[in-house]
Structure 1
Amino acid sequence: MTTTTRILTGTLAGAMLIAGSAQADRSDWPQSFTVGTASQGGTYFVYGSGWANLIADELGVSGGGEVTGGPNQNLALVHTGDLALGLTTMGPAAEALAGESPLAPGVKLDNVCALFPMYETPFSIATLANSGIESISDIPDGATIGFGPAASTSDTYFPAILEELGVNFERRNGGWNDLGGQLQDGLIDVIAFAAGIPIPAVSQLEVQTDVNIIEFTEEEQQQVIDAFPVSPFQIPASTYQTLEEDARAVSMWNFTIAGCDLPEDFVYEITKLSMENNDRMRDIHRSAQFSVPENIEYNTVLPFHPGAVRWYEENGYEIPADLKL
């Protein structure tokens, strides 16, 4: 056997061993997975479905996004194992972990682990330009307001926020696309969104009609920050055609989640793929520009999955001891 042949044979044998090892490492991986998103027409659906396709394509595991009621339902379904992965916001996550989820009162949903930060969810308000509503104080008594799917982040927090600001309203639930159609048809007066920007349903409305994006006054913003687990936020003017300058709002952080009992290697590869390919994540939705490891600090609630912890620590990011299993 020549030296070249020995080298080639050794290289091939090594490659086979690596391939065999990789195959063995996948022995406990799920054969398929589902990502819980939210209603069509919202950012969760676009982000979650695109992320699911990225995972499936790159890791060779069958998977996709699923329409759900949003963060609260995703927490419950990931906890029970009906969904492997999902998207949620920190407010509902804290309530779920404390046994205060509106979908499972008294049950601590503690089989839910964080993976990585997504983006901030601004709370924003839209109405038709011909409504005459240009501020929150302009919303008439008894106005019909769409708050998104029942038990979503928007439906959980926005009614209470508007009540805090003295708005009297009739509540309407539904998917964002459906509510956008109702607004355009004059069946509701206002939509109160809690979704990553740009919100597809608002962008679609702008193409078809004139809309007003309603911002919080400084006083309203501070009043809401004092009363709820939210932060100050500015919706950049570049987000929508309608905006001529940045719009004042409040926001809440979103994280991807996984069942804590999912295989560590599987979650490690998902985290690695998501955190090392931000350009591809931004191709899914531009709000993914904030889906970077530096923003893990905004999760102070859920433990990180051991697979995610491994990737972060390998890459120099510290996870607090109380956020490890």
Structure 2
Amino acid sequence: MTVSKLKTFGVAAIAAVALAGVAQAQPKSLTLGTASVGGTYFIYGGVVATLVTEKTGINVSTQQTQGPNQNLLLVDSKAIELGMVTMGVALHGYNGTGWAKGKKYNNVRALFPMYDTPFHFITTDKTGITSVKQMDGKNVGVGPKAGTPGTYFPLMFEALGIKPTIRNGGASDMASQLGDGLLDVFAFAAGVPISAYSELEAQRPVKFITFTDEELKILQEKIPELSPSVIPKNTYKTLTEDHKTVGLYNFAIAHKDLDDDTAYKIVKAVLDNNDAMVKGHSAAKETLAKNAEKNSFLPFHPGAVKYYKEKGIALNPKTMM
């Protein structure tokens, strides 16, 4: 074989290997980080995993975690490929502020919007608590320490000058402790309705508590990433009026090294099949392409950008790299 033919053969071989690599880029399986049992992430994540598996042929399994903070860490380090976060937690993680304590987690990319996470409280009739102010000195469960409520409720109480005794644990565990009288209040934040809350009100008389207008004003001044949110009446059987509160939007995330085609297929599978998502959990009614605008800082994965361009969705320039 001549030198020129050897060179030609070599180039062809390299090209063949490269093409083979592209063909094998789609992973056979992926892991999606969710949160504790009893919260919306756990249920919603299962719906996403089932739908993406069905539509893409990639086996997506869920991993129970402590919530958004841990999901961000796990995705950033490639311990898992996919996760779910509230944008407040993501903001601190991406910038290295707040809970991130100076370390920037910049390997994560946004995929699709999930739903708003409103902060709210539930207590039993026996406690006699009817306001946030009355929680001062009381035992308040806020879910896992690394979750959104576990991160933000301590900050919110501090901003309001209230000093409850904070307890951490899974959502189902917090609900059980409230029912048993070990907690005075169960404070949580997740897509509504929260299953642990619904189970509680099915078992005993409960009260839902929200912030006063003055408290909401203080919270938004001191924690600006919080946005106005409303829990509609009848979300829970005993919620007889709309609850004004604050919330944080949720997004699904992936590691930046996830191949573009796979990221595109995941986003398409979820956003093109909203009816199936809503059947799994009503919070998914907000899982719509137009809500991609709720992300104002976290870079979108190129595969996700491709999908939004196809749908004519304008993204914030700060989220496109």
State TM-score, norm by structure 1. Answer: 0.89
Give how far 1:131 is off. 1.0
Q: Distance in 1 between matches of 2:161 and 2:21?
A: 60
Deviations 1:220-267 (A, max 9, x none): 111111111111111111210111111121111111101111010001
Corresponding residue for residue 49 of structure 1: 46
Aligned amino acid, residue 38 of structure 2: G
Q: Distance in 2 between matches of 1:101 and 1:72?
A: 11
Aligned amino acid, residue 282 of structure 1: V
Q: Distance in 2 between matches of 1:201 and 1:135?
A: 21
1:296 aligned counterpart, secondary structure: helix
State TM-score, norm by structure 2. Answer: 0.90
Tell me the number of residue pairs that the alignment of Structure 1 and Structure 2 aligns.
Answer: 301
Aligned amino acid, residue 83 of structure 1: I
Q: Distance in 2 between matches of 1:70 and 1:39?
A: 7
Corresponding residue for residue 4 of structure 2: none
1:239 aligned counterpart, secondary structure: coil
Corresponding residue for residue 148 of structure 1: 143
Q: Distance in 1 between matches of 2:114 and 2:228?
A: 17
Task: Give the direction of change, closer, same or farther, for the CA distance of 1:32–1:101 in structure 2 (3 Å limit).
Answer: farther
Give how far 1:59 is off. 1.2
Corresponding residue for residue 167 of structure 1: 162
Q: Percent identity?
A: 45
Aligned amino acid, residue 249 of structure 1: T
Residues 90 and 301 in structure 1, CA contact (< 8 A), matched pair in contact too: no
Matched, 1:252 2:242: no
Aligned amino acid, residue 270 of structure 2: S
Corresponding residue for residue 286 of structure 1: 282
Q: Distance in 2 between matches of 1:92 and 1:320?
A: 19
Q: Mapping of 1:217-296 within 5 angstroms?
A: 217-228=212-223, 229-296=225-292
Aligned amino acid, residue 255 of structure 2: G
1:244 aligned counterpart, secondary structure: coil
Give how far 1:24 is off. 8.4
Matched, 1:68 2:65: yes
Aligned amino acid, residue 178 of structure 2: L
Give the one of 26, 29, 32 matched to 2:29. Answer: 32
Corresponding residue for residue 194 of structure 1: 189
Task: Give the direction of change, closer, same or farther, for the CA distance of 1:200–1:27 in structure 2 (3 Å limit).
Answer: same
Deviations 1:69-124 (A, max 9, x none): 1111111100111111110011111111112363x533211110001111110010
2:234 aligned counterpart, secondary structure: helix
Give the one of 122, 127, 148 matched to 2:123. Answer: 127
Aligned amino acid, residue 39 of structure 2: G
After superposition, the CA RMSD in angstroms is 1.5
Corresponding residue for residue 322 of structure 1: 318
Runs of 4+ in 1 over 3 A off after TM superposition: 23-26
1:162 aligned counterpart, secondary structure: helix
Residues 72 and 101 in structure 1, CA contact (< 8 A), matched pair in contact too: no
